[in-house]
Amino acid sequence: MELGGGGMQWRRDLLVAGFTADEVRQRLRSGELVGVRRGAYLPAGEFPTERVAHHVLLVRAALAELARDAVVSHVSAAVLHGLPIWATPLDRVQVTRSRRSGGRLAAALHVHAAPLDPDEVVVIGDVGVTSLARTVVDLARTLPFEQAVVIADAALYRRLVTRASLEQALARSVRRPGNPAARRVIAFADGRSESVGESRSRVAVHRAGLPAPVLQWEVRSGTGRVLGRVDFGWPELRTVGEFDGRVKYGRLLRPGQDPGDAVFEEKRREDALRDEDLRVTRWTWHDLDSFAPVAQRLRHAFRPA
């Protein structure tokens, strides 16, 4: 992701250019300028409302005040790498300095102190950022399990990392706090999860104590005809699970097809699955927040082949 905010204005530069402190404050009060962080402003028309784009601006503003050895890390690195961020605050920039002490936490900045090998740092634009594998493992050590799985799954699905590279990064962090949690995340991560919703669904199924499903199961009829691919399958229990995120139907669209056509075809596909004596259970984003009723429907659906 590009470090945007080309129109960033700095208080020190405005004062050097001849503006008084009162004039700067007036421009802020009038809305002509919007504060990004202390001493950094952006013209109102350029200020993003989307939280990921806003965080990129926070990173850019913070780096201007930090030592040159500060490397963007953790959730800030995940944002710059373009990984999905779910249910994780983006109000604090996170960086790492390669030292054993000297970390600090402030309202808008978290400076971590931890060893960084040269191959654990990449450059995005002109900014040093922790590598993808190091970023995923750092977040697996520090984020709650579900949020960390979302990021790890996405990195594997997009083939930005390999399981071997994650395990190597994990081995380097063996003595760091949170490493047992990171091991659990990396062991659970699966590149066959194609979306945040599917990753959260896997966590919900796991927490409910249900059998682990086959991901992206290709279902065939008794004659061998491919009926379609389903999000989650329990072949031996003759059960299919489908996560219905609204964006999914956008992915199903063919050129010239509208969403209604896609929904109709999905219904026909489900009928074909039921004709093969498969039980189909669906759930949505709302269900992921309280998965117990879905888990009960799945248990009711499970039966031996």
Of 52, 48, 67, residue with least CA distance to 6: 48
Rounded distance between C-alpha atoms, residue 260 and residue 297, angstroms: 27
Q: Which of 80-89, 126-135, 266-275 is predicted least confidently?
A: 266-275
Q: Where are the domains of the chain?
A: 1-47, 51-188, 196-301
User: At residue 297, does pLDDT exceed 70?
Assistant: yes
pLDDT at 251: 52
Q: What is the pLDDT confidence band of residue 253, given thresholds at 50, 70 and 90?
A: very low
Q: Are 233 and 241 in contact (CB under 8 A)?
A: yes
Residues whose CB falls within 8 Å of the CB of residue 185, separated by 6 or more in sequence, listed in order: 140, 145, 148, 149, 152
Q: Mean pLDDT over all residues of the chain?
A: 91
Q: Determine what percent of the chain is predicted with pLDDT higher than 70.
A: 91
- Bridge partner list, 283: 243
Helix, strand or coil for residue 98?
Answer: coil
**And the tokens for 177?**
């706090």
Confirm whether pTM is higher than 0.85. Answer: yes
Task: Name the residue with higher pLDDT: 174 or 160.
Answer: 160
pLDDT at 6: 63
pLDDT tens, position by position, 27-78:
999 999 999 988 999 999 888 989 999 999 999 999 999 999 999 999 999 9
pLDDT at 5: 54
pLDDT at 180: 95
Q: What is the pLDDT confidence band of residue 185, given thresholds at 50, 70 and 90?
A: very high
User: Looking at domain 196-301, what is its CATH homologous superfamily?
Assistant: VSR Endonuclease (3.40.960.10)
pLDDT tens, position by position, 144-170:
999 999 999 999 999 999 999 999 999
